[in-house]
Chains A and B, each alone.
Chain A
Amino acid sequence: MSLLASSADTRATGLIELPARTARPRRRGSGLALRIAGPVVLVLGWLWASASGTLSPALLSSPGQVLDALRELWSSGQLGDALSVSLTRAGLGLALGATAGLVLGVLTGFSRLGEELLDSSVQLLRTIPFLSLVPLFMVWFGIGETARVVLIAVATSFPMYVSSSGGVRNTDRKLVEAVRSFGMGRLALVREVVLPGALPALLSGLRLSMTLSVIALIAAEEINSTAGIGYLMATAQEYSRTDILTVCILIYALIGLAADGTVRLLERLLMPWRTQGVRR
């Protein structure tokens, strides 16, 4: 407005007036509303397609049918059991895999000896598609829980390894030198300087690992499973219950979303020095 109003004077002087910064208070929750808008549009489209008959129920059940199936599975207790079994598998595998990846990553990122000893072998193993290991793991560990957890652990360790070794390698050399000159030991250096510095990389590695843990979970639950979401899906597939299949797929999506939210929360909790001040 001010630009238009003063255009008469500016033409005379050849100067232009720059608009002052106007504070636009964002209403709280408007960001959240925008985030939710996308999924809501998708569900509305799905509702419309099912109601108008464009989408045959044989291919994909309507949202109403999916809700019914969800209620049925929940009240019978099947869903709760399956969920707890699956989450335990994914969580245990992720914890083991991410820890292994982190330790190996710090070793190769921080010491040259570690890198020379370990990096080439880990990179070699990393290129093996973890799905191809399923038959071998069945031979090694049988068809019990061990094989499933180990598969998830193997799958999740590599992204964590790559991110943490890269993050540790990028530690500020000058900072390390300064702190060493004040007499800090190697272990304290890793704990107090290197790991906090590598945290952004570690958390992005964790994010990738979490996503992969769900993918590995699906693969693992195809190993002659008798419980878990994968088992529920296999059963539903036999009876062509697309409503139950959809419920399971949505649950996988929600697990992924929750994993992402966890990492965002961790980012805020673990790195308070990043949220305050941007000058450097």
Chain B
Amino acid sequence: MSGTPATATRSQPAGQDVAPGPATAVRLRGLRRTFGTRHVLDGVDLDIARGEFVALLGASGTGKTTLLRILGALDGHDAGTVLVPKARTVVFQEPRLIPSKRVLANVTVALPRGARTRETGLRALREVGLESHAKAWPATLSGGEAQRVALARALVREPELLLLDEPFAALDALTRLRMQDLVGELCRVHRPAVLLVTHDVDEAVRLADRVAVLRDGRLVTDEQITIDRPRDTADPRFAALRTRLLTDLGVHPVSPKELPA
């Protein structure tokens, strides 16, 4: 868990600017990933500071999950520079728990066994409100509970970079709101750098410090969100940002005047 980012350079970056400092958690320069003849990612530049929460928006098929998978070393890139910290964890869209392990063993999976690991695992479960389920089998959990276990499994490793791949997409609307609050709260406590991949504009604006939009293989928007927390969807600045982001995503939001009475 050294502080210096691990390098995964494949070719010289196009424009080398300021060298990454100790405050940098992620640096992407000229990132390219090709499937067949299609450049899904074509020259992505992105910096994420330590403790910063970045939401990445994109319509389906724009390569946002591919970008996340490259940062998680689950997929390779074809060109460009990728600098990431060593301690990275992923929460996937599905919980992906091992059915043959109890909840606590799932949280502490691949960690050295012992009383200390057990204790940190229980603490992580307490943070997601599932301490009493430590001995349950994953098959007995609801979708939201299973996803909270997946979150505890990602946090117990004290990641410097937390990758969230549409972690709320498979949840019902109520559970999703509660999970978003929980993730926001836990990220404020643990302060990892976070990349949240989502197609839900409200979710991105509610949670993130910064929001980026991926279109045609590159980032077309990358801006700080200055709205004060807690953020309310009724806030006019919230609505304005949402409209702008939806336009960037290629959706033309209906203005209230056009709505049928």
Tell me if A279 and B139 are in contact (CB < 8 A).
yes
Partner pick for A178 among B90, B100, B137, CB 8 A cutoff? B90
* Chain A residues closer than 8 Å to B99, beta-carbon distance: 196-197, 273
Whether B98 pairs with A175 at a CB distance below 8 angstroms is yes
The answer to whether A279 and B96 have CB atoms under 8 Å apart is no
* Minimal Cβ-Cβ distance residue in B for A196: B100
CB contact list, A62-117 vs B, under 8 A: none
Give B70-117 interface residues, CB cut-off 8 Å to A: 72-74, 88-90, 92, 94, 96, 98-101, 109-110
Chain B 161-196, CB within 8 Å of chain A: the 1/0 string? Answer: 000000000000000000000000000000000000
Residues of A within 8 A of B101 (CB): 192, 196, 273
Q: Are A181 and B74 in contact (CB under 8 A)?
A: yes
Q: Are A181 and B100 in contact (CB under 8 A)?
A: no
Interface secondary structure of A, over-half rule: helix
- Interface residue B140 (Cβ < 8 Å from any Cβ of A): yes
Cβ proximity bits B52-80 to A, threshold 8 Å, 1 near / 0 not: 00000000000000000000111000000
Number of interface residues, chain A, beta carbon within 8 A: 25
Q: Does A182 contact B (CB under 8 A)?
A: yes
Is A197's CB under 8 angstroms from B92's CB?
A: no
Within 8 A of B (CB), among A161-195: 174-175, 177-179, 181-185, 188, 192-193
Cβ of B199 within 8 Å of any chain A Cβ, yes or no, is no
**Overall SS of chain B's interface:** loop
User: In whole Å, how far is A3's beta carbon from the nearest beta carbon of chain B?
Assistant: 35
Q: Which 7 A-B pairs have the closest CB atoms?
A: A196-B100, A277-B140, A184-B110, A178-B96, A277-B139, A273-B137, A182-B110
Q: List 19 A-B contacts (CB under 8 A).
A: A174-B94, A178-B90, A181-B73, A181-B88, A181-B89, A182-B110, A183-B110, A184-B110, A185-B110, A192-B100, A192-B101, A192-B109, A199-B100, A271-B100, A273-B99, A276-B139, A277-B140, A279-B140, A279-B141
Interface of A toward B, CB cutoff 8 Å: 174-175, 177-179, 181-185, 188, 192-193, 196-197, 199, 271-274, 276-280
Interface, chain B (partner A; CB < 8 A): 72-74, 88-90, 92, 94, 96, 98-101, 109-110, 137-142, 153, 157
